[in-house]
Structures are given as C-alpha cells and as structure tokens.
C-alpha cells in the first residue's frame, strides 16, 4: 500500500460546503439548505449555479430534534438544476451513517416499503 503523505488532492478539501436540514426521508433524502463557498477566513454564502457536476462538497446535514449534524465529509455533485442539487455521498463516518439510518427508519416512516437511499441526497438551496 502506498503512503500518500501530506499531498492534498481536490478530494481532501472541497471548495464548497452545503449546510442543510433533512426535510424528507421517505424514498429519497431531501434537504433544504444553502451553499457556502469555503474561503481562507471562513465561508461565504453563494448560489447553486456556482456548482458544477463533478465538484466535491462537504455537507452538514441537520436532523430535526438532534443537536449534532451528520458530517458528510465528502460528496460529489451529480446534478444541478435550478435551485436543486443532487449529491452522491462518498465519505461519512460509520456512526453518522447509523444515525441517519435510524432517523429515517422511525415508526412514522415504517409504512414505506422502499428503504431510503442514504447515498444520494437531493438538496434545495
């Protein structure tokens, strides 16, 4: 196995972060939020049209009634259409993945036969 050392790639530090709240976790995860551009001294609010398919992003996904967000450390933008952004989740901690699965499998969501796809997230920004 090769050691990558401290070499950084575009995968290590995405230029954008999406801060959002889970709005619907039925068959597809949907969230409402905003796009932030990462700068040296913090984050600046921006619009979804700055994103391109293939861009990597960090996602802070807040769950209703929870104090800590789901930290999606790496996701890839797969579609941008008007104010909707679709991302594919690449890297999330096992604990956060379990929390998300538990949240979307609450009794109110039990009547749905199809499990929610937790590797894809649709965000309205």
Does the pLDDT of residue 34 top 90, yes or no? yes
Residues 6+ apart with CB under 8 A from 90: 56, 74, 75, 76
What whole-number percentage of the chain has pLDDT above 90? Answer: 56
pTM over 0.85: no
Report which secondary-structure segment, H or E, holds 97. Answer: helix 94-104
Q: What is the pLDDT of residue 29?
A: 87
Quick one: pLDDT at residue 12?
A: 63
Return the higher-pLDDT residue of 15 and 4.
Answer: 15
Distance CA 30, CA 13 (A): 24
Tell me the average pLDDT across 11-31: 83
The pLDDT tens digits of the residues spanning 45-78 come to 999 999 999 999 999 999 988 899 999 999 999 9
Determine the pLDDT at residue 13.
Answer: 77
């Amino acid at each position: 196995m090769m050691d990558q050392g401290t070499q950084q790639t575009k995968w290590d530090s995405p230029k954008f972060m999406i801060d959002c709240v889970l709005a619907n976790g039925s068959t597809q995860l949907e969230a409402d939020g905003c796009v932030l551009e990462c700068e040296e001294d913090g984050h600046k609010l921006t619009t979804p049209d700055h994103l391109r398919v293939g861009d990597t992003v960090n996602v802070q996904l807040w769950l209703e009634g929870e104090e800590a967000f789901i930290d999606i450390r790496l996701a890839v933008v797969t579609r941008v259409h008007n104010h909707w952004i679709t991302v594919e989740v690449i890297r999330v901690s096992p604990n956060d993945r379990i929390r998300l699965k538990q949240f979307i499998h609450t009794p109110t969501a039990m009547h749905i036969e199809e499990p929610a796809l937790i590797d894809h997230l649709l965000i309205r920004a």
